[in-house]
Amino acid sequence: MLESVENISDLRIEQRVIALVEPILIDMGYELVRVALLGKQALTLQIMVDRADGSLINVEDCEQISHAVSAVMDVHDPMEGAWTLEVSSAGIDRPLVRVKDWNRFAGHLAKVEMMIPIEGRRRFSGIALGADEQNARMRLDTGSEVELPLSEIRKAKLVLTDSLIDACSHMVNVLSGSETE
């Protein structure tokens, strides 16, 4: 749920934010995907969410979440100074942060950047094959498979493809109420 952070102070802030907002999101029917502290001078606290039912987040959802989170952050502000709150959906070409994300989107194209080299490289592109608590698995363009330690992933995200759009189209139908039986 944490985006890789450059310093321990940012990590502590993000961990405190998770502890504050995750219970609220769960009560509202959402899941916390990622918390990231962005920027150097003008700080932005980004909170990325999913609906618990898997349907797409809309603007009204982000507004409701923003109000609920702002109320808690006003009382228990984990950061000094001025900052901006940004609430967003994970989107279709979403980051792969949780084990659940890797397993849900197995079979789709992803790009990964590692903090340390694995098999002599830091960047990987291929088909996500899923994950367990320690490793994410990918099938590379060469056909070989690689295990990537989740704790060493700097960034991982899905690549927008026609097959990903097709797979996610049910989320739009669920949201609009037009899903057919």
pLDDT, tens only, 141-167: 899 999 999 999 999 999 998 988 888
**Helix (H/G/I), strand (E/B), else coil: 136:** strand
Tokens 């759009």 appear where? 165
For residue 66, pLDDT beyond 80: yes
Angstrom distances, CA of residue 17 to CA of 7, 69, 167: 16, 10, 32
| Phi and psi at residue 82, to the nearest 5° | -85, 145
Residues 140/148, Cβ–Cβ less than 8 Å: no
The per-residue pLDDT for range 27-53, each reduced to its tens digit, is: 999 999 999 888 888 889 999 999 988
Counting Cα atoms < 13 Å in the Cβ hemisphere of 179 gives 11
In the block, residue with structure tokens 């507004």 = 63
DSSP 144: -
- Stated pTM of the model: 0.79
Separation of alpha carbons 155 and 164, rounded Å: 19
Q: Which residue segments constitute the domains of the chain, with CATH numbers given?
A: 13-89 (3.30.300.70), 99-169 (2.30.30.180)
The angle that helices 8-28 and 59-75 make with each other, rounded to 10 degrees, is 120
The predicted structure's pLDDT at residue 5: 45
Distance CA 2, CA 14 (A): 7
